[in-house]
Structure 1
Amino acid sequence: MTANGYLPLFETKPAKGRNALKLFSLTILLSIFLIWLYRLMYIPRKGEAGRYAWIGMFISEVFFGLYWIMTQTVRWNVVHRYPFKDRLSSRYEDGLPGVDIFVCTADPILEPPSMVMNTVLSVMAYNYPPEKLSVYLSDDGCSELTFYALLEASKFSKYWIPFCKKFAVEPSSPEAYFNLNIDLQDPVFALEWGTIKKLYEDMKTRIVSAVEKGRLSDEIKGQHKGFSEWNSKVTNKDHQSIVQILIEGWNSNAVDIDGNPLPTLIYVSRQKKPQYAHNFKAGALNALIRVSSEISNAPIILNVDCDMYSNDRDAIRNALCFFMDEKQGQQISYVQYPQSYENITNNDLYSNAGLVSFKIELAGFDGYGTMPYIGTGCFHRRDILCGRKYFENCKVEWNVVKDKIKGRTIKELEEASKLVANCSYENGSQWGKEMGLVYGCLAEDMVTGLAIQCRGWKPVYYHPAKRAFRGVAPTTLDQHLVQFSRWTQGMFQIFLSKYCPLIYGHGKIKFGAQLGYCMYLLWAPVSLPTIYYVIIPALCLLHGVPLFPKVCALISLRLHVGLKIDTKGSSKKLR
């Protein structure tokens, strides 16, 4: 508590051991300088064997040294955040803001609808007033199979959400939950558990069966008017805007089996035409921002990938502690949670866990008041995501929500939303430039986060002990290479563009944060000296060309069993 009696909704603490790390880093830095000095002092003369290999080694070691310095900038200033959701509830329980949740999918084959529905159901079951939750599924593949799966999930949610609330179920993804070893000694709980599991298995069977057939029967299509949007002319790359409201959370008739309100649930597939650029995930999210503004218009937006289900029912409340803090919250733009995976192998062959990145480096960014937006598990303020610039004392009225629903029918809301999801809507506008996610880069999330920070806003990185989101990581070499090639290409593209942090961020974010960004943006070029260092020394060793100093030592060791080992040798200078 401060002197005036103010209790903050979160606190920030520096990580322990930072001074010891700095001292250790200085010794490493000294060693790097000595290596550089050695390379410069003993460059082979012209005509001597290994001269060019030696120079190449020197260039590689300089690059490695500078890259190491970049990594240290975000490891020296690690901080940890601690929200107080109990204080949030005691002050703002009746005035909590609305939250729009965006779930994105693009391919019913690579991203099975049954998996997508588990993510949707998990975010619908948050420990949060359901009338203030709206869940939007963006289907960039425009698949009627995905729409059918969402329709099934909307029916199952009437049973799943009250079950989660009654027994504080975590994780709230049905698939993940039913795979746990649950104690069923309580007969009341065991009965309800068995009933809900049977309903889930039946729903999953119907969805999987429809996907395997690749089509829907006329009986299924007769269940909802939305299926009329799909005809023989509709393809995943050429179709009209589709917006279908499956659960009207504001309607008193939209209740679960216990009579409690349900969250709003909406299917969205933006218009696609071959002659228009679609801008991939960035374009899909910008369409969702506009569609949601026509229906719920919540001041907070959470976006999650379709393979990242909610693992903490209080994740929204924890994030709101940062936004709604009376003194520090006005400048906070977004709250980024780390990624976490449930299918990590024991040896983590492809380093998917990212322990150093998620536990240390991103927390080090936070120490500079910056944080890369990593595309999923992120809570945004709508106004900031739409281009608002920071100015001092810019307060937010969280309990004031623009009511666009009142007096409008479902059909009117859907038609208005379709217009803003059309390809031509962005023509001549600032969408993709100053508004929404930035276009023109494969790593649209990182460049968008950087642009937001350069407008004066400060993000927050929150790494809780309980993982807020869990998903699946690449399990094969092919998948891993595809993912990392996209990341490295997109990030290096940022470095070579006008958004290079050393230029675009100059005077706007701290220099340490600029170097931290470059650490990630230079993933691609750092592979070149790495390949050189792997290949050239081995070839030189085979040809007897020395590139490293020889070790001069005379070791004599007498073992207590009487074995005597004498190692004698002489050394010469490398020259």
Structure 2
Amino acid sequence: MGEKSGETEERVGLFERKEGRKRGIYKVFASTIFAGICLIWVYRLRNIPNDDARYWYWLLLFMSELGFGLYWIITQSVRWRIVYHTPFRHTLLNRYNQENLGGVDIFVCTPDPILEPPMIVINTVLSAMAYNYPSNKLTVYLSDDGGSELTFYALFKASIFSKHWLPFCRRFNIQPRSPQPFFATQNYSTNYAQQCFSIKKLYESMKRDIEWVVANGKVPDDEREQHNGFSEWNHKTTKQDHQSIVQIMIDGRDTNAVDEDGYGLPTLVYMAREKRPNYPHHFKAGAINALSYNNLTKNDHYANSCLATDKLELAGICGHGAALYCGTGCFHRRESISGTSFKDYIPNKDTNPKREDKRTLNELNEASKALATCTFEKDTQWGKEMGLVYGIPVEDIATGLVISCRGWKSIYYNPERKAFLRVAPTTLDVALVQQKRWSEGMFQVFFSKYCPFIYGHRKINLGLQMGYCVYLLWAPMSLPTLSYVIVSPISLLRGIPLFPQLTSLWFLPFAYAFLATNAYSLGEALSCGSTIKGWWNLQRMRLIRRTTSYFFSFIDNITKQFGLSQANFVITDKVVSEDVQKRYEQEVIDFGNSSNSIMLTILATVALLNLFGLVGGIMRIVVMDLGFSSSSQLMIQIIVSALVVMVYLPVYEALFIRTDKGCISSSIMFKSIEARP
């Protein structure tokens, strides 16, 4: 009472912070699972066999269960305290009018115009340009790692189309603001159907021009004459050897840079950093991969969506006062990535963009090229103490850790309407390559000086250190998984029991730990919007990833530690043919170009091994007429192999039944049969 309205308004926060519900109940539940895990460890230690053959199998399973248990403990760090944030948009608008909003730079990165079609990139650029934000304070950069004139041509066409697309978005407040998904979801039964048809016609015309140029691999001479920037490309320019290229496609300072309604356009910049064979290239300085997709199927048969990660795990990291920098969908204060510690941060009250630079467009283009040379950061702190961290394929994760260790507090916000979307892999081989790249890069972080337990010691709390390791330890989790799915069927074939009898009290901790964790996992998936089949697909993909992608990323990391190989960055192919797209929409697993895939060979080998183990174990019980006591000793191994066989049903179908182009080749099947014991 008696307070001025301005003072009251100043005390109102910009967002509301809420903790996840029923965390106390979950903590009690998790404690019971932990007790079950401890009892499993006790059983293994108290019942070590004497005979050599059984001893080594026993030891492998104990080490696997020890790894599973320790990793489960680490995963609790992102479920112990879940925090959600809800912004108060009206408060933001009242506190900051358009003139007081700060400038925003948006970076869109693309690696290759063949593997990542320019139309995908252009849709991203156009959606960023169409943000509901003052255009004079918005700059969109397209960073082209391939330095391709095809990508530059696509951006040139998009800069022209933006003069029509941005007014269309503003007039009708359309969502989404990326043209491709917008036109794919519209039925045109709206009061602006005619305008939709008109803008779609312009979009399709631009799309045809871009795809024709990409298919031919060259920009026509008459098109090159329309922009001076094409002169940067000549017969000596290659993907791995080219000068720095910077072109300001739209200059937001120019009063003539307006759309068809007369409103100013945001600044649009094309940038390709210089590449020379004798200088190190730092990839994209951050793996630009979003966690949300615009082409998911209902049951997400490749488990691309990461629903639990989005809605629970990242919110759990936020409970420790940080947000995981996952490559994209992030907004940073410039000071936070420029090497400034939070305690040294002095807020700049001046939010007006600097307009005193009177240089011409060509002068700015030439001046900016010096910043994009391959030697710019030599003998400087860039890539070390300033900017994104160099030397690791997933610099985003390491950079986010560094930001947190400097005292900056981050907030994770996951709106109902997804702000960032990407294209999900449509074949299994591409999905596995993507997972290998991610897991390999994250395990490199764990092996580097940026290991959270070392770099974050006394800088961030233990819970946050563990939260990072949930993802950094994907690769080594391949070892206990492979051990379990290989040892169980082999010992079953040889009649070697490795688990307690069904009538033993020691059976209870095994059963409880398995049922409780999977029941909670199912409930977690359903609460996040998945389906039962979607959850089952996630279990399948988790097993497939651990026995293929994660295993090879682990091996590659070990060889790198001994200097036997070097870091690389594998680009995910986003080109999709009609038959591949059809199988994807039908939720049929497409094993892709599998003729020479060693990952699919291992996948098929593990699947066949468990099938033979299951059949052999059942036959051993039936043919040898084992009593209840002897057969019950093998029952858990039979259950393990049966579950693996159920998970791998699509693999058997692709090996023995399917004849389409997405099945597993006969050469892999023969290799897998030869590899079995």
Q: Note whether the superposition's TM-score is higher than 0.5.
A: yes
Matched, 1:219 2:222: yes
- In structure 1, the residue matched to 2:209 is 206
- In structure 1, the residue matched to 2:556 is none
- In structure 2, the residue matched to 1:550 is 501
Deviation at 1:278, TM superposition (A): 1.1
- In structure 1, the residue matched to 2:412 is 461
- In structure 2, the residue matched to 1:272 is 275
**Matched residue type, 1:86:** H
**Matched residue type, 2:464:** A
1:385 to 328, 332, 337: 337
1:356 to 304, 308, 311: 308
CA distance change for structure 1 residues 107 and 405 in 2, over 3 Å: closer, same or farther?
farther
Deviation at 1:256, TM superposition (A): 0.5
Alignment of 1:405-484 (within 5 A): 406-484=357-435
Unaligned runs of 5+ in 1: 286-303, 309-337, 554-568
- Is the 8 Å Cα contact of residues 188 and 196 (structure 2) preserved in structure 1? no
Q: Which has the higher strand share?
A: 1
Q: TM-score, normalised by structure 1?
A: 0.85
Alignment of 1:337-352 (within 5 A): 339-352=291-304
2:56 to 38, 52, 64: 52
Matched, 1:34 2:39: yes
- In structure 2, the residue matched to 1:103 is 108
- Is the 8 Å Cα contact of residues 96 and 399 (structure 1) preserved in structure 2? no
C-alpha separation between the residues in 2 aligned to 1:88 and 1:370? Answer: 22
C-alpha separation between the residues in 2 aligned to 1:398 and 1:115? Answer: 37
Deviation at 1:403, TM superposition (A): 2.1
- In structure 2, the residue matched to 1:557 is none
- Is the 8 Å Cα contact of residues 552 and 570 (structure 1) preserved in structure 2? no
**Matched residue type, 2:170:** K
- In structure 2, the residue matched to 1:244 is 247
Deviation at 1:543, TM superposition (A): 1.1
Aligned-partner SS, 1:50: helix
CA distance change for structure 1 residues 147 and 95 in 2, over 3 Å: closer, same or farther?
same
- In structure 2, the residue matched to 1:375 is 327
- In structure 2, the residue matched to 1:300 is none
Deviations 1:75-122 (A, max 9, x none): 011110111121111111120011111110110001111111111101
**Matched residue type, 2:49:** P
Q: Number of aligned pairs?
A: 505
- In structure 2, the residue matched to 1:490 is 441
Unaligned runs of 5+ in 2: 505-626, 635-677
C-alpha separation between the residues in 2 aligned to 1:48 and 1:406? Answer: 79
Alignment of 1:160-171 (within 5 A): 160-171=165-176
- Is the 8 Å Cα contact of residues 141 and 236 (structure 1) preserved in structure 2? yes
- In structure 2, the residue matched to 1:500 is 451
Alignment of 1:80-229 (within 5 A): 80-93=84-97, 94-186=99-191, 189-229=192-232
C-alpha separation between the residues in 1 aligned to 2:353 and 2:294? Answer: 39
Deviations 1:432-461 (A, max 9, x none): 100111111111110111011111111111
Q: Which has the higher helix share?
A: 2
Deviation at 1:247, TM superposition (A): 0.8
Deviation at 1:158, TM superposition (A): 0.6
For the aligned residue pairs, the C-alpha RMSD in angstroms reads 2.1
- Is the 8 Å Cα contact of residues 274 and 374 (structure 2) preserved in structure 1? yes
C-alpha separation between the residues in 2 aligned to 1:66 and 1:532? Answer: 16
2:67 to 63, 68, 72: 63
- Is the 8 Å Cα contact of residues 369 and 460 (structure 1) preserved in structure 2? yes
Deviation at 1:397, TM superposition (A): 2.4
Deviation at 1:65, TM superposition (A): 0.5
| Relative contact order higher in (CA < 8 Å, ≥ 6 apart) | 1
Aligned-partner SS, 1:470: coil
Q: TM-score, normalised by structure 2?
A: 0.72
Deviations 1:375-397 (A, max 9, x none): 011111111111111107x4422
C-alpha separation between the residues in 2 aligned to 1:185 and 1:391? Answer: 53
- Is the 8 Å Cα contact of residues 181 and 294 (structure 2) preserved in structure 1? no
C-alpha separation between the residues in 1 aligned to 2:52 and 2:436? Answer: 39
**Matched residue type, 2:61:** M
Alignment of 1:324-339 (within 5 A): 339=291
- Is the 8 Å Cα contact of residues 139 and 269 (structure 1) preserved in structure 2? yes
C-alpha separation between the residues in 2 aligned to 1:541 and 1:123? Answer: 57
1:535 to 486, 504, 512: 486
Aligned-partner SS, 2:311: helix
- In structure 2, the residue matched to 1:517 is 468
**Matched residue type, 1:127:** N
Deviations 1:342-392 (A, max 9, x none): 222233222111112111111100000122210011111111111111107
Deviation at 1:477, TM superposition (A): 1.8
- Is the 8 Å Cα contact of residues 270 and 422 (structure 1) preserved in structure 2? yes
CA distance change for structure 1 residues 430 and 402 in 2, over 3 Å: closer, same or farther?
farther
Deviation at 1:231, TM superposition (A): 0.7
Deviation at 1:40, TM superposition (A): 1.1
**Matched residue type, 2:221:** D
**Matched residue type, 1:118:** N
- Is the 8 Å Cα contact of residues 240 and 277 (structure 2) preserved in structure 1? yes
C-alpha separation between the residues in 2 aligned to 1:165 and 1:90? Answer: 21
**Matched residue type, 2:294:** E
- Is the 8 Å Cα contact of residues 253 and 355 (structure 2) preserved in structure 1? no
**Matched residue type, 2:67:** F
Deviation at 1:37, TM superposition (A): 0.9
C-alpha separation between the residues in 1 aligned to 2:432 and 2:347? Answer: 43
Aligned-partner SS, 1:103: strand
**Matched residue type, 1:192:** Q
- Is the 8 Å Cα contact of residues 96 and 398 (structure 1) preserved in structure 2? no
Aligned-partner SS, 2:411: strand
Aligned-partner SS, 1:425: coil
2:234 to 231, 234, 252: 231
C-alpha separation between the residues in 2 aligned to 1:171 and 1:406? Answer: 35
1:10 to 11, 15, 23: 15
**Matched residue type, 2:275:** K
Q: Which moved more, 1:485-494 or 1:63-72?
A: 485-494
- Is the 8 Å Cα contact of residues 139 and 268 (structure 2) preserved in structure 1? yes
- Is the 8 Å Cα contact of residues 247 and 263 (structure 1) preserved in structure 2? yes
- Is the 8 Å Cα contact of residues 101 and 351 (structure 2) preserved in structure 1? no
- In structure 2, the residue matched to 1:325 is none
Deviation at 1:220, TM superposition (A): 0.4
